[in-house]
């Protein structure tokens, strides 16, 4: 069994389905983006959406991937930070109920929440109050947290804290683990482009990106970006939504089509794609098969609101993958 440790923002997702993009425009949230907001802005948006139907569930990009891996039978752990408030305690319970080992830190600020606006076409827009999750520091990381880890998976949303990222990757390497990075969001890539290029050259083994993130990194067509990435890391994956995904591992190239799905909400699609891909790679499956595993899991999560697939959905996935 592969042992995977994910690190990221421990955020409770607050899912809001919109009937049009007028609300996004009114709130000044670019469609498809991830905007970090402070406590006062969080309060302001909460007042505006008061009365709208919402759904709350534990989330965060790397956490979603760890849930997917646990459901697929891998040993998955998550390192993040919450406060001992109602939201934080529910977060911990949720993750453990999903089968994920929690290696959590405790913070003084309220637990983080991510307001997820789901447009009619399934696109999602995030307004994220990091709260306690955003106060994780390099000083709080220790070698013990990385003991026994085969793969360290970190979300790009942490890239703004260069010291934290560098120490985490160093501790993972010292523990003998591979390092995987998901680029997270095009605007995160734009804000950290030079630092990210350095990481990819010296510290990252596997990288996951979508087309927008890949374009933001180099300003080149997808195929050329994939070629460049494959020269920096061992495995480079570019997710292309409805057009499937492509990957390079050394000289090997593979691409797959997306699984036909009734898209309701794309929240967690990239996170769950990574879970399927990593699960297959842990079994030493060929590159094309790894992409297919990712496509199957991602194709199922877009059929539900939020990033959590129900019991019947996981049974369907396991049957499709013969897990």
pLDDT in tens, 80-137: 999 999 999 999 999 999 999 999 999 999 999 999 998 888 888 989 999 999 999 9
- pLDDT-based confidence at 285, cuts 50/70/90? very high
Domain tally, the chain: 1
Structure tokens at 323: 């897990």
pLDDT tens, position by position, 38-76: 999 999 998 999 888 888 888 899 999 999 999 999 999
Is position 41 within any domain? Answer: no
Is position 169 within any domain? Answer: yes
Mean pLDDT estimate for the chain: 92
What per-residue confidence (pLDDT) applies to 65?
97
Q: Do the beta carbons of residue 49 and residue 16 sit within 8 Å? A: yes
Polymer length in residues for the chain: 323
Most confident of 21-30, 129-138, 180-189: 129-138
Is position 196 within any domain? Answer: yes
For 172, the domain range is 3-10+60-110+133-321
Is position 186 within any domain? Answer: yes
Is position 46 within any domain? Answer: no
How far is 281 from 287, CA to CA, in rounded Å? 8
Q: What is the mean pLDDT of residues 137-141?
A: 98
Q: Which of the pair, 33 or 102, is modelled with greater confidence?
A: 102
> Residue 115, Cα to own-chain centre: how many angstroms?
15
Is position 268 within any domain? Answer: yes
Q: Do the beta carbons of residue 35 and residue 126 sit within 8 Å? A: yes
Q: Do the beta carbons of residue 307 and residue 64 sit within 8 Å? A: yes
How far is 222 from 206, CA to CA, in rounded Å? 17
- pLDDT-based confidence at 323, cuts 50/70/90? low
| pTM of the predicted model as reported, rounded to 2 decimal places | 0.90
Pick the range with the lowest mean pLDDT from 241-250, 287-296, 308-317. Answer: 308-317
3-class SS at 82? strand
Is position 39 within any domain? Answer: no
How far is 231 from 204, CA to CA, in rounded Å? 12
What per-residue confidence (pLDDT) applies to 34?
79
What angle do helix axes 269-282 and 61-71 make, rounded to 10 degrees? Answer: 50
Is position 22 within any domain? Answer: no
CATH number of 263's domain: 3.40.1190.20
Q: Which of the pair, 34 or 224, is modelled with greater confidence?
A: 224
């Amino acid at each position: 069994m592969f042992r995977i440790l994910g690190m990221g923002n421990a955020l409770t997702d607050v899912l809001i389905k919109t009937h049009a993009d007028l609300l996004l425009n009114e709130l000044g949230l670019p469609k498809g983006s991830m905007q970090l907001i402070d406590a006062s802005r969080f309060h302001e948006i909460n007042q505006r959406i008061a009365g709208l139907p919402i759904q709350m569930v534990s989330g965060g990009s790397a956490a979603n991937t760890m849930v997917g891996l646990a459901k697929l039978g891998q040993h998955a752990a998550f390192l993040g930070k919450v406060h001992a408030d109602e939201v934080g305690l529910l977060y911990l319970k949720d993750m453990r109920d999903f089968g994920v080992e929690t290696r959590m830190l405790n913070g003084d600020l309220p637990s983080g929440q991510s307001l997820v606006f789901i447009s009619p076409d399934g696109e999602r827009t995030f307004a994220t109050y990091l709260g306690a999750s955003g106060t994780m520091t390099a000083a709080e990381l220790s070698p013990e947290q990385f003991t026994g880890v085969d793969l360290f998976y970190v979300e790009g949303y942490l890239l703004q804290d260069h010291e934290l990222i560098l120490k985490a990757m160093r501790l993972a390497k010292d523990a003998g683990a591979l390092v995987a990075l998901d680029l997270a969001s095009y605007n995160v890539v734009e804000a950290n482009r030079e630092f990210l290029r350095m990481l990819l050259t010296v510290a990252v083994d596997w990288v996951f990106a979508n087309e927008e993130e890949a374009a933001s990194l180099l300003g080149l067509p997808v195929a050329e970006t994939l070629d460049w990435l494959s020269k920096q890391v061992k495995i480079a994956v570019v997710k292309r939504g409805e057009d499937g995904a492509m990957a390079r591992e050394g000289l090997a190239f593979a691409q797959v089509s997306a699984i036909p799905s009734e898209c309701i909400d794309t929240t967690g699609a990239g996170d769950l794609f990574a879970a399927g891909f990593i699960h297959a790679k842990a079994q030493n499956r060929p590159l094309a098969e790894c992409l297919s595993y990712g496509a199957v899991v991602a194709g199922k999560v877009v059929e539900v609101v939020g990033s959590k697939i129900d019991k019947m959905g996981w049974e369907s996935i396991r049957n499709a993958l013969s897990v």
